[in-house]
Chains A and B, each alone.
Chain A
Amino acid sequence: MTHQPLSWIPVLDLRQESLTSFALREAAVFYRAHQGRGHLLLGEPLPPGISYASWSCARPLPGQTWHSPVRSWAGLPVAASLEIAGDHAPEPARDCDLPSLLTQDAACRLTLYRIPGTEADAVIQAVSQIREDHPRAALWLDLPSMGWDAAAYLLAVIPALQLMNVPDRELSHLLDLAEILERPVQLHDFGGAAPLPVLPLPEYPPQMDNSWDMSSPPVYPGYL
């Protein structure tokens, strides 16, 4: 059993928005709300004078991490997007297929998506196969499409996997899973800031109703 931490990386997806002052304000609030950790997905580069440690862009830009569009993986019932660092995502890279892009040294992480309607066992087999074929790749599972059950099983059998796009309101599920897998949870991003531990939620015993008295059989009060 591994004790490698499970990652919680809050993600704010602004790919469909132009970076107006409202969107930038949204990003600032997002960062503050997550103690200065979080990853931004942008459709265009940040304006001059504004910087965030962890962001990637849907357009290949010199010196910036490129977030490739989600494409289906040939021959397998999953889709994937790849992030490639720095200047290694030139224009022709868009036409390359994902497996060949994965072999590049600059490939940061591959996020796998479940295609809607795919059975859980087919997705599990596909993820296992990709893991087997690309043992060095950093594989992430898109939680909203995978679902908690398939994701929990995959994390139990392939400890190197991590979850991406865990909504804040479902953090308790991640903490539950971490408790069962006996792994800590860390809040961080890809910007290099030190990870912050996420503590397990407090546990309370099931509330016992005080009127619940089973010391004697319940007799209808009107009869007494």
Chain B
Amino acid sequence: MTNAPLRYRAALLQTRPRPLEHLKVLRVNTTRNCWMQCRFCDFSRYAPLSGPRPVPPAVGRAALKSELGRGNRYDLIKIRGGLTFWEPWSYFLQLVRVLAEGSSAAVQAFSAVELMHFHRVEKKPLREMLEELRWAGATSLGPGGGELLVDSLREELAVHRIRSQEWVTVQRLAMEAGLQSRAMMMVFRGITRDLVQEHLLALGPLRDLSVIEIKPLRPQGTHMENAQPPHLLEMLAVVQAIQDLWPQVQIAVSADSVSPDALSILHQHGVSMAYFNAEEIGP
């Protein structure tokens, strides 16, 4: 693997793209405590594996019902959280159920990392858990854990995170269970061409993949506090690389992670969806 940086191919844009799809998002963070301690993740408050309960309880049903009772309309509900051992799988399933019943929004519930965690803790088959998620009302699995599907880098930054192959397998099983698949790509300063290629090729088995979210590294609150976020030109280069390999896939970005100018320029380059965090529940 070479360290050649990924470069933006400069092109003045002449045509106007189709309008940017704005998705109003309700984010539900179950807990910010996590035992996995991935360097780039801000959900990395220390959560022990066992012992007396030292972490606050995850977000409760009452908080969800009160938010849903306010009558706000959302396009997407994203449920995510750190990994702890206090609440059982059934608790999270009920949480998805409450949200899906109380709103008409699509529900993006948990990620392959969380699924694998519960799979190991509860010793339940993955297929069964995915079926249960769909029953509870989830429409897709979140892209979490798929930041960069390059195992050598994951070994360095997130030792306990699932391997690339495992992540792809869980996503594939999710699709077989009737859930939509979502992928992501974390962009950081100095990202190389080979890393991007390897990541995009690793997504190959997800033939029905419809959305890839590009996510700039936000080092605040993580173990990589003094790392630099990516430059806009690096994000544009990643968009170009995705379009080269996955021309049919929609590219999304969280509007909270980029400036309005950057969002506008990304849109001109092919980003077609923007997530706006309208509300956030949980710690």
Q: Are A212 and B223 in contact (CB under 8 A)?
A: yes
When distances are taken between beta carbons in the complex, the residues of chain B under 8 Å from A124 are 265, 268
- Residues of B6-56 whose CB lies within 8 A of A: 7-8, 10-12, 35, 37, 39, 46, 48-52, 54
Q: State which of B12, B39, B231, B262 has its C-beta within 8 Å of the C-beta of A176.
A: B231
Q: State which of B7, B50, B160, B228 has its C-beta within 8 Å of the C-beta of A220.
A: B50
Q: State which of A153, A208, A218 has its C-beta within 8 Å of the C-beta of B232.
A: A153
Question: Is A147 located at the chain interface by the 8 A CB criterion?
Answer: yes
Question: Is B177 located at the chain interface by the 8 A CB criterion?
Answer: no
When distances are taken between beta carbons in the complex, the residues of chain B under 8 Å from A217 are 35, 49, 160
Interface string of B262-276 (1 = CB under 8 A from A): 101101100000000
- Residues of B214-268 whose CB lies within 8 A of A: 219, 223-228, 231-234, 236, 259-262, 264-265, 267-268
Q: A214-B160, A217-B49 are in contact. Are A209 and B223 (CB under 8 A)?
A: yes
Interface footprint category on B? 35 or more
Q: Are B48 and A218 in contact (CB under 8 A)?
A: yes
Q: State which of A121, A158, A207, A219 has its C-beta within 8 Å of the C-beta of B264.
A: A121
Interface size on A, residues (CB 8 A): 34
- Residues of A182-224 whose CB lies within 8 A of B: 204, 206-209, 212, 214-215, 217-223
Q: How far is the CA of A150 from the CA of B225 in the complex (A)?
A: 26
When distances are taken between beta carbons in the complex, the residues of chain A under 8 Å from B261 are 120, 147, 149-150
B47: nearest chain-A partner, CB-CB: A218
Question: Is B159 located at the chain interface by the 8 A CB criterion?
Answer: yes
Question: Is A74 located at the chain interface by the 8 A CB criterion?
Answer: no
Q: Are A156 and B268 in contact (CB under 8 A)?
A: no
When distances are taken between beta carbons in the complex, the residues of chain B under 8 Å from A207 are 225-226
- B contact face: mostly helix, strand, loop, or mixed: loop
Q: How far is the CB of A86 from chain B (nearest CB, A)?
A: 34
When distances are taken between beta carbons in the complex, the residues of chain B under 8 Å from A180 are 5, 7-8, 231, 233-234
B40: nearest chain-A partner, CB-CB: A206
Interface string of B50-79 (1 = CB under 8 A from A): 111010000000000000000000000000
Question: Is A119 located at the chain interface by the 8 A CB criterion?
Answer: yes
Q: A147-B259, A147-B261, A218-B37 are in contact. Are A152 and B54 (CB under 8 A)?
A: no
Question: Is A107 located at the chain interface by the 8 A CB criterion?
Answer: no
When distances are taken between beta carbons in the complex, the residues of chain B under 8 Å from A177 are 231, 233
Q: How far is the CA of A75 from the CA of B234 in the complex (A)?
A: 33
Q: Are A214 and B37 in contact (CB under 8 A)?
A: yes
When distances are taken between beta carbons in the complex, the residues of chain A under 8 Å from B49 are 217-220
When distances are taken between beta carbons in the complex, the residues of chain B under 8 Å from A176 are 228, 231
Question: Is A104 located at the chain interface by the 8 A CB criterion?
Answer: no
Q: Are A119 and B160 in contact (CB under 8 A)?
A: no
Q: State which of A149, A181, A214, A215 has its C-beta within 8 Å of the C-beta of B265.
A: A149
Q: Are A222 and B10 in contact (CB under 8 A)?
A: no
Q: A207-B225, A207-B226 are in contact. Are A153 and B265 (CB under 8 A)?
A: yes
Interface string of A29-47 (1 = CB under 8 A from B): 0000000000000000000
Q: How far is the CA of A180 from the CA of B231 in the complex (A)?
A: 8
When distances are taken between beta carbons in the complex, the residues of chain B under 8 Å from A220 are 48-52, 54
- Residues of A148-182 whose CB lies within 8 A of B: 148-150, 152-153, 156-158, 176-177, 180-181
Q: How far is the CA of A75 from the CA of B51 in the complex (A)?
A: 70
Q: State which of B12, B37, B227 has its C-beta within 8 Å of the C-beta of A212.
A: B37
Question: Is A128 located at the chain interface by the 8 A CB criterion?
Answer: yes
A214: nearest chain-B partner, CB-CB: B159
Q: Are A119 and B231 in contact (CB under 8 A)?
A: no
Q: How far is the CA of A181 from the CA of B52 in the complex (A)?
A: 54
Q: Name which of A120, A181, A219 has the most chain B CB atoms within 10 A of its CB.
A: A120
Q: Are A222 and B51 in contact (CB under 8 A)?
A: yes
B6: nearest chain-A partner, CB-CB: A180
Q: Are A121 and B265 in contact (CB under 8 A)?
A: yes
Q: How far is the CB of A16 from chain B (nearest CB, A)?
A: 29
- Chain B positions within 8 Å of A, measured between CB atoms, are 5, 7-8, 10-12, 35, 37, 39, 46, 48-52, 54, 159-160, 219, 223-228, 231-234, 236, 259-262, 264-265, 267-268
3 shortest A-B CB distances, which residue pairs?
Answer: A220-B48, A223-B51, A220-B51
A-B contacts, 13 listed (Cβ < 8 Å): A1-B7, A120-B260, A120-B261, A121-B268, A150-B261, A156-B233, A157-B11, A180-B5, A180-B8, A214-B37, A218-B46, A218-B49, A221-B48
- Chain A positions within 8 Å of B, measured between CB atoms, are 1, 119-121, 124, 128, 147-150, 152-153, 156-158, 176-177, 180-181, 204, 206-209, 212, 214-215, 217-223
